[in-house]
Chain A
Amino acid sequence: MVGKVTRRNFLSLAGLAAAAPIFQVKLPHGIDFILQNSPTPRKFLIETMPGGVALFDYNNDGLLDIFLVNGGRITENLHVPEQFERSNPRYWNRLYRHNRDGSFSDVTQAAGLANAGNGNYGMGVAVGDYDNDGYPDLYVTSYGKNILYHNNGDGTFTDVTAKAGVAGGGWSVSAGFFDYDNDGHLDLFVTRYMDWDADHNKICGGDWHTYCPPSAFPATTCLLYRNRGDGTFEDVSERSGITAKKGRALGVSFADYDGDGFTDIFVSNDGMQQYLFHNNGNGTFTECAMESGTALTSDGKGLSGMGTVFQDYDNDGRPDLIVTVLPRELFAVFHNEGTGSFSYQSLETGVGAMTSLSSGWGVGLEDFDNDGWKDLFVAQSHVLDNVQKIDASLTYKQLPLVAMNHGGHFERADSGVTTPLAARGAAFGDINNDGCIDVVLAILGGPPVLLLNRAGSGNHWLSITLRGTRSNRDGYGARVFVNGQTRIATSSGSYNCANDKRLHFGLGSADKATIEILWPSGAKQVMNDAGANQFLEIREPEQL
Chain B
Amino acid sequence: MTWLFMLALLGGQAEPSEAMQHVQAGLMARQQHQVDVEIDEFSKAIELDPNLADAFVNLGAAYMEKHDYGAAIAPCKHALELSPDLAAAHQLLGFALLAQGYAIEAIPHLEKVGAQDALAIAQLETGRLTEAVANFNVALAKRPSDPDLLYYLGHASGLLSKSAIDTLIAQFPDSARAHQALAENYFALRQMPQAEKEYLEAIRLRPELPNLHLELDQVYANSAQWPKAEEEFRAETKLQPGKAEAAYRLGNAYLQQGKAHDALAELKRSDALRPEMAETLYSLGKAASLAGPSETSTAERAWLKVLELERTSSLAAQSHFALAGLYRKQGNTAKAQHEMQEFQKLQSTIGPPHSE
Which residues from chain A sit less than 8 Å from chain B, CB to CB?
271-273, 290-291, 293, 296-304, 325-326, 328-329, 337, 339, 341, 343-344, 347-350, 352-353, 356-357, 391-393
Contacts and interface: CB of A to CB of B under 8 A. Distances in A.
Interface string B328-356: 11010000010010011001000011111
Contacts of A326: 355
Given A391-B190, A393-B192, A352 B258 contact: yes
Contacts of B325: 293, 298, 343-344
B191 A291 contact: no
A273 B353 contact: yes
Nearest to A343: B329
A337 B331 CA distance: 10
Given A300-B347, A344-B325, 20 more contacts: A290-B344, A291-B340, A293-B325, A296-B353, A298-B289, A299-B322, A300-B321, A301-B356, A302-B352, A304-B355, A343-B329, A347-B260, A347-B290, A350-B258, A352-B256, A352-B258, A391-B190, A392-B192, A393-B192, A393-B222
Given A300-B321, A391-B190, A356 B354 contact: no
B251 to A, nearest CB: 13
Nearest to A344: B325
A119 B258 CA distance: 48
Given A339-B331, A341-B329, A343-B329, A302 B354 contact: yes
A348 B258 contact: yes
B256 A353 contact: yes
B322 A300 contact: yes
A293 B226 CA distance: 27
Nearest to B226: A353
B324 to A, nearest CB: 8
27 contacts: A271-B355, A272-B355, A273-B353, A290-B340, A290-B344, A291-B337, A291-B340, A298-B325, A300-B320, A300-B343, A325-B355, A326-B355, A337-B328, A339-B328, A341-B329, A343-B329, A344-B325, A347-B256, A347-B286, A347-B290, A348-B290, A350-B258, A352-B256, A353-B224, A353-B226, A357-B224, A392-B193
A328 B347 CA distance: 21
B258 A349 contact: yes
Contacts, number: 92
B318 interface: yes
A296 B321 contact: yes
B356 A392 contact: no
Nearest to B324: A293
B93 interface: no
Contacts of A393: 190, 192, 222-223
B190 A392 contact: yes
B115 to A, nearest CB: 38
B124 interface: no
Contacts of A297: 356
Tell me what chain A mostly uses at the interface: helix, strand, loop, or mixed: loop
Given A271-B355, A302-B352, A347-B255, A357 B223 contact: yes
Of B222, B260, B331, B356, the most chain A CB neighbours within 10 A belong to B356
Contacts of A291: 337, 340
A390 B305 CA distance: 39
B356 A328 contact: yes
Given A290-B340, A339-B331, A347-B258, A300 B353 contact: yes
Nearest to B347: A300
B356 A329 contact: yes
B318 A300 contact: yes
Nearest to B331: A339
B317 interface: yes
Contact of A302 (B222, B257, B353): B353
- Closest 8 A/B residue pairs (Cβ): A300-B321, A356-B224, A302-B353, A347-B258, A353-B257, A357-B224, A393-B223, A300-B318
A274 to B, nearest CB: 11
Contacts of A273: 353
B286 A302 contact: no
A350 B256 CA distance: 9
B192 A301 contact: no
B256 to A, nearest CB: 6
Nearest to B192: A393
Contacts of B257: 347, 353
Contacts of B352: 272, 302
B354 A271 contact: yes
A348 B260 CA distance: 8
Contacts of A391: 190
A353 B258 contact: yes
Contact of B355 (A301, A343, A356): A301
B353 A301 contact: yes
